[in-house]
Amino acid sequence: MNHLDSKFGDYGGMYVPELLIPALDQLEQAFIDAQKDPEFQAEFMDLLKNYAGRPTAMTLTRNLVNNPKVKLYLKREDLLHGGAHKTNQVLGQALLTKRMGKTEVIAETGAGQHGVATALACALMGLKARIYMGAKDVERQAPNVFRMRLMGAEVIPVNAGSGTLKDAVNEAMRDWSASYDKAHYLLGTAAGPHPFPTIVREFHRMIGEETRAQILEKEGRLPDAVVACVGGGSNAIGMFADFIDEPSVKLVGVEPAGKGVHTKDHGAAIGKGTTGILHGAYSYIMQDGDGQIEESYSVSAGLDYPAVGPQHAHLSDIGRAEYVSVTDEEALNAFQILSRKEGIIPALESSHALAHGLNMADEAEDGSIIVVNLSGRGDKDLAHVHSILGDTFMGGANND
């Protein structure tokens, strides 16, 4: 009954109330039509170029890697308008919203990055946005709440459950089941029910396509590995998509190990989770023996999600992509190293990918080329990281 494949191997699917099926079918059809419509594509490309600032730069790091014969590149999604890759797919889905004749947008947000991206796209396109955010996150992320409100979005605190991202997703889905006639649910990652994982991947796949072209131009060959952080997995699938059929390119996803995957405080759904259904998709999730969803944890709010997009679950099972994890401490370390050595302050999410990329570069053979997707910039994390490190960090006054 679906026109596009709704599953990745066994993963994915549409595990939602029957009531939402017509809305998901409508979205799938609108997406299929839009992909074939030159006018839609032209408008999307124009927004990406002239509003968001694509293509983003490809930066060869100068001081990060000890071995001068190993090259570590950064795909600079941190330079995109909005400060992270998220702007790409939000613009695409906002255009789809208009195409479907809907006037309202519902979204969920954890740290507020997807909320901010949604708010900016809705401000631009004249759509009414309401954004669900866990009550705890509303308190912790006051600057992003202000950004969203400044751009005209309504921010709705969610008190139910644990008051974090997964509860915000629940609440957004509940809203949608009453409002689908005029509202689009602008889901923020490559997870959730079909067709979201496919739509979000396709609206982020320029990350990998640009990477291919830029590395080919600079190096005359494809990279040996691309590395990206994985919460729900949108920036990673955007980076991976164009390389899946290139077996020489290693795909590496980095999950948050939090305080260590041997503790309960982590968010490594692929690494330590088991298969199950959350938010409409069958994938790896964090759950107890009865199937109750467990809380995830990461220093980085954008990776703090107890499931993962279904295509990542599939890529892991078939061995096409490798998924590793990086602790809070390692990520915080990479955050400081990049700031100190290259003058780039990365998002804590992207710091996970960078931490593993640095390890790979240390162990790589001479002549290797590694690309780390620097999915976002770290401005949003400054107060948080400062509160963790105090003034005793490696670049701080005490060390000079």
Partner 1 sequence: MTNSQLNTDRYANMFAQLNAKNEGAFVPFVMVGDPDVDTSVNIINALIEGGADALELGFPYSDPIADGPTIQKAAIRALSHKIKTTQCFEVIKKVRESNPDIPIGLLLYSNLVLKRGIEKFYTDAAEAGVDSILIADVPLREADRFIAIAEQTGIKQILIAPPNASDETLAEIGKKSQGYTYLLGRAGVTGAETAVTIPASELVEKLVQYKVAPPLLGFGISTPQQVSDAIKSGAAGAISGSATVNIVAENLTNPAQMYETLRNFVSDMKHATKK
Residues near partner 1 (CB under 8 A) are: 1-2, 13-22, 160-161, 166-167, 170, 173-174, 177-178, 180, 275-280, 282, 285, 287, 289-293
Helices (H) and strands (E) in the chain, counts: 15, 14
SS3 205: coil
User: Closest approach of Cβ 200 to partner 1, in Å?
Assistant: 19
Task: Decide if 86 is catalytic.
Answer: yes
Q: Which long-range contacts (CB under 8 A, 24 or more apart) does 333-340 make?
A: 334/358, 335/378, 335/381, 335/385, 336/389, 336/393, 336/394, 336/395, 337/64, 337/394, 338/64, 339/378, 339/395, 340/394, 340/395
User: Closest approach of Cβ 172 to partner 1, in Å?
Assistant: 9
Nearer to partner 1, 73 or 282 (CB): 282
CA distance 279 to 286: 12
- Given a contact cutoff of 8 angstroms between Cβ atoms, the answer to whether 173 and 201 are in contact is no
User: Closest approach of Cβ 343 to partner 1, in Å?
Assistant: 42
User: Closest approach of Cβ 334 to partner 1, in Å?
Assistant: 32
Contacts of 170 (CB under 8 A, 6+ apart): 158, 160, 161, 279
Nearer to partner 1, 23 or 94 (CB): 23
Nearer to partner 1, 291 or 395 (CB): 291
User: Closest approach of Cβ 375 to partner 1, in Å?
Assistant: 26
What ranges make up the beta strands (E) of the chain? 7-8, 11-12, 58-60, 71-76, 104-109, 128-134, 154-158, 183-185, 225-229, 250-258, 274-278, 281-285, 321-327, 369-374
| Angle subtended at Cα 309 by Cα 98 and Cα 82, rounded to the nearest 5 degrees | 50
Q: Which two tokens stand for residue 16?
A: 């939602």
Q: Which of 71, 75, 86, 166 is labelled catalytic?
A: 86
Distances (CA, A) of 225 to 148, 211, 240, 257: 36, 11, 10, 21
User: Closest approach of Cβ 288 to partner 1, in Å?
Assistant: 8
Q: Which of 234, 316, 325, 375 is labelled catalytic?
A: 375
User: Closest approach of Cβ 167 to partner 1, in Å?
Assistant: 8
User: Closest approach of Cβ 370 to partner 1, in Å?
Assistant: 37
- Strand order of the β-sheet with 128-134 is 154-158, 128-134, 104-109, 183-185
Q: Which of 108, 202, 330, 349 is labelled catalytic?
A: 108
- Given a contact cutoff of 8 angstroms between Cβ atoms, the answer to whether 357 and 322 are in contact is no
Give burial (CB, 10 Å; 0-12/13-18/19+) of 26. Answer: middle
Nearer to partner 1, 307 or 337 (CB): 307
Nearer to partner 1, 290 or 391 (CB): 290
Nearer to partner 1, 173 or 237 (CB): 173
Nearer to partner 1, 213 or 277 (CB): 277
Nearer to partner 1, 188 or 376 (CB): 188
- Given a contact cutoff of 8 angstroms between Cβ atoms, the answer to whether 244 and 275 are in contact is no
271 half-sphere exposure, CB direction, 13 A CA radius:
24
Catalytic residues: 86, 108, 375
